[in-house]
């Protein structure tokens, strides 16, 4: 298991037992002669392909929805900043060209109206260039041509995916095109995913979230299939809130002050940074912005400055002395917890297959860590 961010690590799956095969609903105790979960190799491959097709269909639908939302705003003249969805690039360029032509024609018509109203006395300035010769229109045409060319290249790349480009001798043995990594499935452990590991490259793993309190107590343990962390903020905040309620009940039963169980500020690294996570409800949080920048956040921050964009406000919060002091404690808490699980408990690799069994093993390791923390605290008492 590897820890690289606040309250999470990606854990490589090892030799395992049990689990549920997606698409088949089968569960088995080990790698049987007929295959893991009792399914044959053919059935496991078919289930993995069906899962990949479902994921691909969902991604395409999400991209189409994002493109349609962007187009709706672009037609209204309110295109949001940032990259243009590839599926909408050509249409957005066409809309921009139409708007540029209309704007230039409006300038020409306004000039003609001023000339007609001057009754031969003349008007200041020269007549604007016709739309076909105006600089903004020419630039829009160039962008439209580039968008069409890029769309054609993407279509050709998708049609010839997996084929070698022609070599110097025309035999088709040139170097293979470098393509972005494609989603894959492991027919031995279908619940795991291929994830990036700083030390080991790409590994077959699960993404584990382990939020810790300021005293080192692990508040929750959750294993997921998500290859990123941005979607894990809200579930993790919910886990922290649920743990706080349990701790508060124990403090109340022991006659302790309610201040002992108040949730402070949650610190997350740049892998969790997004506008949705900055705006989400729940406990206060500090999320490192990474390389993200905005025109609104440029310039020095003052203690009283406020921003309309939650991401800009997060940058401001981190720039304050209090924000820096709180966030400085993130790495020792987060990375220290994962180091303890790996070095003291020995959980460097899960020993079971299937997300339910991985979750059980992770929960057991987190429980042992909390018990060892309790033992050290009790041993230090006079």
Per-residue pLDDT of the chain (382 residues; tens, 9 = 90+): 433 333 333 333 333 333 444 433 344 433 444 445 567 778 888 888 888 888 888 888 888 888 888 888 887 877 777 778 888 888 888 888 888 888 888 888 888 888 888 776 777 777 888 888 888 888 988 988 988 888 888 888 776 654 444 444 444 444 445 555 677 788 878 788 888 877 778 888 899 999 999 999 999 999 998 888 999 999 999 999 999 999 999 999 999 988 888 999 999 999 999 989 999 888 899 999 988 876 554 555 555 667 778 888 898 889 889 999 999 999 998 888 888 998 888 888 888 888 888 999 999 999 999 999 999 989 988 7
Domain match, 21 and 82 both: no
Domain match, 9 and 148 both: no
Domain match, 339 and 213 both: yes
Distance (Å, rounded) from C-alpha 249 to C-alpha 271?
Answer: 33
Helix (H) or strand (E) holding 268: strand 266-268
Domain match, 219 and 347 both: yes
187 domain-assigned: no
Q: Is the pTM of this model over 0.75?
A: no
Distance (Å, rounded) from C-alpha 325 to C-alpha 264?
Answer: 13
Distance (Å, rounded) from C-alpha 232 to C-alpha 277?
Answer: 9
Tokens, residue 159: 């049609």
Q: What pLDDT, on the 0 to 100 scale, is given for residue 246?
A: 92
Instruction: Please enumerate in sequence order all residues whose Cβ is within 8 A of that of 1, keeping only pairs 6 or more positions apart, or say none.
Output: 9, 10, 11, 12, 208, 338, 341, 342, 347, 348, 349, 350
Tokens, residue 283: 């406990």
Domain match, 112 and 209 both: no
Domain match, 48 and 134 both: yes
Q: What pLDDT, on the 0 to 100 scale, is given for residue 108?
A: 87
Q: What pLDDT, on the 0 to 100 scale, is given for residue 295?
A: 56
173 domain-assigned: no
Q: Which of 104, 127, 159 is the last residue of a domain?
A: 159
Domain match, 209 and 141 both: no
Pairing of strands 266-268, 285-287: parallel
Domain match, 87 and 153 both: yes
Tokens, residue 112: 């003609």
Q: Which domain holds residue 331?
A: 2-30+205-379
164 domain-assigned: no
Q: Which of 104, 130, 159 is the last residue of a domain?
A: 159
Distance (Å, rounded) from C-alpha 96 to C-alpha 137?
Answer: 9
DSSP single-letter state for residue 341: I
Domain match, 235 and 352 both: yes
Domain match, 284 and 370 both: yes
Distance (Å, rounded) from C-alpha 200 to C-alpha 151?
Answer: 35
Domain match, 90 and 47 both: yes
What stretches of the chain show up as alpha helix (H) in DSSP? 41-75, 89-117, 135-159, 233-253, 275-279, 310-319, 321-327, 330-340, 355-379
Domain match, 25 and 47 both: no
Q: What pLDDT, on the 0 to 100 scale, is given for residue 119?
A: 72
Domain count of the chain?
A: 2
Phi first, then psi, for residue 153 (nearest 5°) are -65, -40
Instruction: Please enumerate in sequence order all residues whose Cβ is within 8 A of that of 279, keeping only pairs 6 or more positions apart, or say none.
Output: 310
């Amino acid at each position: 298991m590897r820890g690289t961010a606040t309250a999470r690590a990606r854990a490589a799956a090892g030799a395992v037992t049990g689990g549920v095969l997606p698409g088949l609903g089968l569960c088995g105790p080990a790698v049987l002669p007929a295959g893991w979960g009792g399914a044959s190799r053919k059935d496991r491959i078919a289930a993995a392909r069906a899962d990949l097709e479902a994921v691909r269909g969902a991604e395409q639908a999400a991209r189409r929805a994002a493109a349609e939302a962007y187009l709706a705003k672009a037609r209204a003249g309110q295109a949001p900043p940032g990259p243009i969805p590839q599926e909408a690039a050509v249409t957005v360029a066409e809309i921009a060209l139409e708007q540029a032509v209309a704007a230039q024609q409006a300038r020409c018509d306004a000039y003609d109206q001023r000339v007609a109203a001057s009754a031969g006395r003349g008007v200041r300035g020269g007549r604007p260039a016709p739309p076909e010769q105006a600089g903004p229109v020419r630039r829009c045409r160039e962008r439209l041509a580039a968008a069409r060319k890029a769309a054609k290249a993407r279509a050709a790349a998708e049609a010839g995916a997996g084929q070698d480009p022609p070599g110097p001798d025309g035999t088709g043995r040139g170097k293979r095109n470098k393509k972005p990594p494609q989603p894959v499935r492991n027919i031995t452990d279908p619940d795991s995913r291929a994830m990036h590991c700083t030390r080991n490259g790409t590994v077959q793993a699960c993404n584990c979230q382990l939020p810790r309190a300021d005293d080192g107590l692990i508040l929750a343990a959750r294993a997921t299939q998500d290859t990123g962390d941005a979607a894990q903020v809200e579930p993790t905040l919910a886990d922290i809130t649920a743990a706080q309620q349990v701790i508060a009940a124990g403090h109340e039963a022991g006659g302790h002050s309610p201040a002992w169980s108040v949730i402070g500020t949650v610190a997350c690294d740049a892998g969790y940074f997004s506008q949705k996570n900055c705006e989400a409800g729940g406990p206060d949080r500090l999320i490192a912005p990474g390389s993200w920048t905005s025109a609104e956040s440029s310039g020095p921050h003052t203690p009283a400055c406020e921003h309309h964009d939650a991401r800009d406000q997060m940058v401001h919060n981190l720039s304050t002395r209090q924000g820096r002091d709180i966030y400085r404690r993130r790495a020792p808490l987060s990375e220290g917890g994962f180091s303890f699980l790996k070095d003291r408990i020995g959980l460097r690799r899960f020993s079971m297959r299937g997300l339910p069994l991985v979750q059980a093993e992770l929960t057991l390791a987190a429980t042992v860590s909390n018990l060892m923390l309790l033992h050290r605290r009790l041993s230090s008492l006079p």
